[in-house]
Amino acid sequence: MVVNILVGLGVALFGFVLQTAMGGINRKIVARVQKRIGPKWYQEFIDIFKLFSKRSVSHGWIFDFGVIMALGGIIATAMFMPVTANIIAFEGYDNFFIFVYLLAVGMLGMAMSASGSGNPLASIGVMRALTTMLAYEVPFMIVVMTIIKLTGGTSSVSEIAAFQQIAGNNWFIIALPLGGIVAIISLMGMLGKKPFETYIAPAEIASGPMVEYGGKQLGMLFVMHEITVFIEVSLFIHLFLGGAATLGVYLLKYFLVYTALNLISSVYARFKIDQVVVFFYKWPLFMAVTQAIIAIYLGWVI
Amino acid sequence: MKSTKFSPMTQEQIDKKWWEIGNYFRRNSLWMLMYCTGCCAIELPPAMTSAYDMERLGMGPMATPRQADVLLVTGYLSLKTLRRLIYTYEQMSEPKYVVGFGSCTINGGIYHDSHAVINKLDQYIPVDVYVAGCMPNTEAVMNGFTDLMGMIKNKTARGWLDYKERNDWYKKNQLDSLGEVLVHDEFHE
Ligand code: SF4
């Protein structure tokens, strides 16, 4: 048990280091797209450690406690994440729904803390974040339900990944092309990438939920954000890209997925919040339902 | 037996070491809050975008005072905006630095005889680096930022400590010019 918990914490730490490095590399890549030189690849580490080295103010204990709850909830979620087929802390507990519910703990902690600051822009940001969540979860859930049905009722993330590695089965992004597109769009919504960046919106609502954070609390939120991105991208890799047999394959897939999303995001402008909701309830929802019908009832799976 | 090679460090020396490590991170990741009051602000877009690319120094724009490390005061400050500037400066989390742009912040520049603007910024808030010129070249702006990074390294960027030590003096100057620092508008009442 102790070993499992240590492995789980190791996975969370691995996710933090991996995603922070990837974030720095991607800032460099986006800078090259914009004909700039860009920061050092370890810039994100410098940013986070700098935030921890600053002094910060508090806005009451809800504000402080919410940050710790957010970080703790996200670390707890990351502990269940399988990295490769062998690196997994709690065998048999990597259920998809565990991730969905535990992720909400982190998000709610952040929402609580942000509203605890009493800033109206923070409340607007939290409201927008929850609205965006409501928008992308519906089509994404339908696609994942389809996958669970196709794999014979298992919702374990590593078993779904193993299912795609059996000879004769394709990765789900190929087997369910429409569903794959929906998943990519939903993933961009989850990560808050550019067209769906409404709840951060620095120029509009002054970075939304983070408006009152500075110093150490902001540093903790950054760590939380990095681990959240790790969880979401890993879920995508395991559910749609066939998981990873070795660590090298995992790193390669992670890099490709995250960079592709960043490149897409670097050429888009921001939607308004009502446009986000209407967008997700129009095409992705339609495509997800169509995919579910043709995959389950007609049995057309590539 | 006590080791003769490594004499244990005093608490002061340990604090100093930590502060130096922190200084490395602080100078390589300066997040700015742009208080664009005057025409000097037009020098910031070329400094940020592909021409001079300040992100390679680790600098970037931030949305709110709480998140920012360095406050850029770009040009003349009317009495009305000075109130907001003092509010903004006091909200930033320490250590914090201030860069003043243009001759307007140094001695009033071409507005030196106007009744509506202040002349010397460093009487109201502590300024670490001035970038002279009306308006300064973008090279000068970038040079000012590297100067600030050097000052953080040499521990001479002590404006925020000075603001604490001589708070009475700053407050007195602010009150002399403004009458009262409180802002009266729909957001602050
Ligand atoms: S120094 Fe010159 S360019 Fe800058 S704000 Fe003053 S008048 Fe404008």
Nearest to A202 among B26, B63, B93 (CB): B63
The rounded Å distance from CA B37 to ligand 1 centre is 10
Mean model confidence pLDDT for chain A: 86
B129-177 pLDDT, tens per residue? 999 888 888 899 999 999 999 998 888 888 888 888 888 888 888 888 8
Higher pLDDT, A299 or B43: B43
A interface mutation test: which of B21, B25, B31, B57 has the most A CBs within 10 A?
Answer: B25
Nearest to B56 among A38, A49, A213 (CB): A38
* Mean predicted confidence (pLDDT) in B78-88: 86
Nearest CA in chain B to A121: B64
Alpha-carbon distances of A68 from A112, A223, B44, B67, rounded to whole Å = 11, 11, 36, 18
pLDDT at position A20, please?
A: 92
| Angle between helical axes of A177-191 and A247-266 (0-180°, round to 10) | 70
pLDDT-derived band at B1 (thresholds 50, 70, 90) equals: low
Select from B34, B43, B44, B76 the residue to mutate for testing ligand 1; criterion: most ligand atoms less than 8 Å from CB: B76
pLDDT value at B189 more than 70: no
pLDDT value at A7 more than 60: yes
pLDDT-derived band at A1 (thresholds 50, 70, 90) equals: confident
Question: DSSP string covering A241-288, please?
Answer: S---SSHHHHHHHHHHHHHHHHHHHHT--PPPHHHHHHHHHHHHHHHH
pLDDT-derived band at A259 (thresholds 50, 70, 90) equals: very high
Q: Dihedrals φ, ψ of A10, to 5°?
A: -60, -40
- Residue identified by tokens 């690319």 is B53
Whether B63 has its CB under 8 Å from any CB of chain A: the answer is: yes
Distance, CA of A121 to CA of A43 (rounded, Å):
28
Do the Cβ atoms of A215 and A290 come closer than 8 Å?
no
pLDDT at position A175, please?
A: 80
Whether B93 has its CB under 8 Å from any CB of chain A: the answer is: yes
Residues of B in contact with A206 (CB under 8 A): 63-64
A193-212 pLDDT, tens per residue? 888 888 887 777 878 788 88
Distance, CA of B20 to CA of B26 (rounded, Å):
10
| Number of the ligand 1 atom closest to the C-alpha atom of B134 | 2
Topology of the domain covering B25-178: Rossmann fold (3.40.50)
Residue nearest to atom 8 of ligand 1 (CA): B39
What ipTM goes with this model? Answer: 0.82
Taking an 8 Å cut-off on Cβ atoms, the answer to whether B25 and A53 are in contact is yes
B84-115 pLDDT, tens per residue? 888 889 888 888 899 988 888 888 888 888 88
A82-122 pLDDT, tens per residue? 888 777 777 778 888 888 888 888 888 888 888 888 788 88
Distance, CA of A127 to CA of A116 (rounded, Å):
14
Whether B49 has its CB under 8 Å from any CB of chain A: the answer is: yes
Domain range list for chain B: 25-178
Q: Out of A240-249, A275-284, B2-11, B61-70, which region has the weakest mean confidence (pLDDT)?
A: B2-11
Distance, CA of A179 to CA of A291 (rounded, Å):
6
Distance, CA of A298 to CA of A277 (rounded, Å):
30
- Ligand 1 pocket (Cβ < 6 Å) reads B 38-40, 75-76, 102-104, 109-110, 134-135
Interface of A with B (CB under 8 A): 27, 31, 34-40, 43, 46-47, 49-50, 53-57, 202-203, 206-207, 210-215, 218
Nearest CA in chain B to A205: B63
Nearest to A207 among B22, B55, B63 (CB): B63
pLDDT at position A17, please?
A: 92
Domain range list for chain A: 2-297
pLDDT-derived band at B2 (thresholds 50, 70, 90) equals: low
Which residue type is seen at A12? A
Both tokens assigned to A266: 């670097």
pLDDT-derived band at A167 (thresholds 50, 70, 90) equals: low
